[in-house]
Amino acid sequence: MAGRQPKGERIFRGIAVSAGVCRGKILVLHRTRHVIGRRELTEAEVPGEVQRFEQALVRTRHQILELQRKVMKELGANEANIFDAHLLMLEDQVLVGEVIRAVREQKLNADYVFHSVAERYAEAIAGANDEYLRERTADLRDLTVRVLDNLLDVKDQFDLRHLAEPRILISHDLSPSTTAQLDRKLTLGFATDIGGQTSHTAIMARSLGIPAVVGLHDISHELDSDDYGLLDGYNGVVIVNPTDQTLFEYGQLLKRRASLDEKLHEIETQPAITLDGTPIRLSANIENPGDVEAVRTHGAEGVGLFRTEFLFLNRAQLPDEEEQYRAYHEVAAALKPHPVVIRTLDLGGDKFASHLQLAQELNPFLGWRAIRFCLQQPEMFRRQLRAILRASAEGNVKMMYPMISGLDELNQANALVGQYRAELRAEGKPFDDKMEIGVMIEIPSAVLVANSLAGPAKFFSIGSNDLIQYALAADRTNEKVSHLYEPTHPAIVRLIKMTVDAAHEHGIHAAVCGEMAGDPVLVPLLLGLGVDELSTAPTGIAPVKYLIRRLKLEEARALAAFALQSSSPAETLNRCQTLAREIAPSLFESKI
């Protein structure tokens, strides 16, 4: 009797979005599509149909609010706010109005009309230039399914609250609202065909602590439920029918990872100080007051970059002065006496608030963004500057402007601050008269005039993400030119050195707050170039600190000296990797 052929090992590679490794039986989720027919209505049926649609909207709204309450209780405000986008779309008078009008005028059934209108909107958003907006397509499709479920009286098709046994979930996509309902104990991990690092589903997976891999192309069609799989959320890999050898290797990897996690946990409360005794300021990048807890638990010394634009996105109205003041004040008060550097609004480029209805630009990264935009939107800028000044009364607030290209912009912005200080003084509202104001150095022209910026600017913070894109003319969001986007390019090394030198000549300090600061491979180079402070995402703090505590500054300086005379980005990167792996090998051992 021929036995069943064991299936061979298969490896799928995607994008790692939530750390951890799990193994177990797979459950492939195939959403059964709604059957939506086109039905003509009689005149008498029309009012009933409109009412049916409106009731479905009300029911959907209740369900989303319920979900939002649940997420708020279990995960917190950041994750709960994700559903604001759903609610906004649900209340969008243009979309709802268009459906009702079409039902009335064309006398067609609401499910058919709603589905076609919502799909048209989703396609338009999916084709948008702006990444943030594109990612809202998943939210709109999620909402569309919910409204159709209610219109067609279909039960939630993916009720994942009651899995019978532990499973790795595989699906084409997993909407944020489905993700929010996952049973944490029985969901071992999940993997999807589509999605990116910054999608809401990815953010939610990280908050839930469920290992996840996205962007696996068509894995949901390749696998069957009950296949046995292993999901690696560190390296973005799913392995089906893993061999004994693979399972053994993963066993080893997990042991190494557990021992690294323990080491990282141990140094959370230790100072960031090099082996030869130089303390390095290590601070965190945050986007919301809710991130304060993570700043503390990961052992950062305050905030080096508070990206305030996230208070402006995903909502119907701009935040007023009071709301902003509360947000800035909350962070400053919670982290006192550590400094909190609040960056003024950096909208535009790839961060874009839909309610501002900015015209599409041919070159958004070279266009009307950040300080350029704020200086021309005086009312909006005034609200933010006043809010920051008022929060500065806590005594530990600093402020910086993004995208400064030259001295004029800095002087103009500082003149406004002077004006608002006078206003607040007249109103008897307290603020810190000595609050330091700095600039982000992220445009090459700012590096070239750094000598005149230092003085009016009390510190520099190098935005390496933008500095690299502008210096090398390589769009940071365009995969086709990502091979040109090289942090170790000699031009970048020299720009950083020039910035640090100009800062030090004028007795001010130079930080780096772009992604380079959170990459343990590049940290020795930055410190060797003389950078005084590194600011990175809270989860990036411990690995960087671990490396700093094993680094001698003289090794870092030798590396920087090599990089400054090298003409090869690859050679410099290679040297950086060799040094980092030599002094902190455990940081690199959970890679396969």
Asked whether position 464 contacts ligand PEP by CB under 6 A, the answer is: yes
Handedness of CA 347, 350, 352, 358 (dihedral sign): positive
Amino acid in the structure at residue 368: W
For residues 386-445, which are near Mg ion according to CB under 5 A? 442
Rounded CA separation 178/176 (Å)? 5
Residue owning tokens 């569309």: 144
Is the alpha carbon torsion for 331, 333, 335, 336 positive or negative? positive
Q: Which stretch binds ligand PEP (CB under 6 A): 55-63, 356-364, 463-471, 569-577?
A: 463-471
Rule CB under 5 A: say whether 348 interacts with Mg ion.
no
Closer residue to ligand PEP, CB minimum distance, 219 or 462: 462
In whole angstroms, give the CA distance from residue 490 to residue 193.
Answer: 38
| Residues in 292-321 at the binding interface with ligand PEP, rule: CB under 6 A | 305, 307
| Angle, CA 227 vertex, CA 223 and CA 232 arms, to 5° | 80
Tokens 């750094």 -> residue: 450
Q: How far is the CB of 133 from ligand PEP (least distance, A)?
A: 17
Pairwise CA distance, residues 398 & 341, whole Å: 5
Out of 86, 200, 489, 509, which one is annotated catalytic? 200
Q: For ligand PEP, what does the binding mask look like between residues 508 and 547, x meaning CB under 6 A?
A: -----xx---------------------------------
Q: Would you say 202 or 404 has its CB closer to Mg ion?
A: 404
Q: How far apart are CA 403 and CA 445, in angstroms?
A: 10
Q: Does 569 bind ligand PEP (CB under 6 A)?
A: no
Number of residues that bind ligand PEP (CB under 6 A): 10
Distances (CA, A) of 369 to 284, 309, 346, 416, 575: 24, 11, 6, 18, 36
Distance CA 410, CA 132 (A): 28
Active site residue 483: no
> Does position 369 bind ligand PEP by CB under 6 A?
no
Amino acid residing at 252: Q
Choose among Mg ion, ligand PEP, none what residue 532 binds, the Cβ cut-off being 5 to 8 Å by kind. none
Instruction: Choose from ligand PEP, Mg ion, none: what does 475 bind? Cβ within 5-8 Å by kind.
Output: none
Indicate which residue of 22, 374, 513, 576 is catalytic: 513
Instruction: Name the one range near Mg ion by CB under 5 A: 133-141, 309-317, 461-469, 566-574.
Output: 461-469
| Binder among 291, 466, 475, 515 for Mg ion (CB under 5 A) | 466
x/- site string to ligand PEP, residues 325 to 364, per CB under 6 A? ---------------------x------------------
- Segment interacting with ligand PEP, rule: CB under 6 A, options 269-277, 406-414, 459-467, 578-586: 459-467
In sequence order, the β-bridge partners of residue 399 are 342, 437
Binding of Mg ion by 463 (CB under 5 A): yes
Comparison of 464 and 572: residue with beta carbon closer to ligand PEP = 464
Q: Does 291 bind ligand PEP (CB under 6 A)?
A: no
From 137-145, 224-232, 372-380, 462-470, give the range in contact with Mg ion by CB under 5 A: 462-470
515 binds Mg ion (CB under 5 A): no
Phi, psi of 217, deg, nearest 5: 65, -95
Q: Which two tokens stand for residue 29?
A: 């989720």
Closer Cβ to ligand PEP, 465 or 539, answer by number: 465
Among 465, 477, 539, 577, binds ligand PEP (CB under 6 A): 465
Type of residue found at 397:
V
442 touching ligand PEP, by CB under 6 A: yes
Is 580 within 8 Å of 524 (Cβ atoms)?
Answer: yes
Q: Which residue of 176, 195, 236, 463 would you call a contact of ligand PEP, by CB under 6 A?
A: 463
Alpha helices in 349-463 (DSSP H): 370-375, 378-391, 407-427, 444-448, 450-453
Of residues 177, 37, 176, 179, the one with CA closest to residue 109: 37
Length in residues, the chain: 592
In whole angstroms, what separates CA 456 from the centre of its chain? 31
Three-state DSSP at 287 gives coil
Which 162-221 positions form the footprint of ligand PEP (CB under 6 A)? none
Residue 240 or 286 having the CB closest to ligand PEP: 286
200 is catalytic: yes
Of 80, 72, 201, 81, nearest to 141 by C-alpha is: 201
Chain residues binding ligand PEP by CB under 6 A are 305, 307, 346, 442, 463-466, 513-514
Chain residues binding Mg ion by CB under 5 A are 442, 463, 466
List residues with catalytic annotation. 200, 513
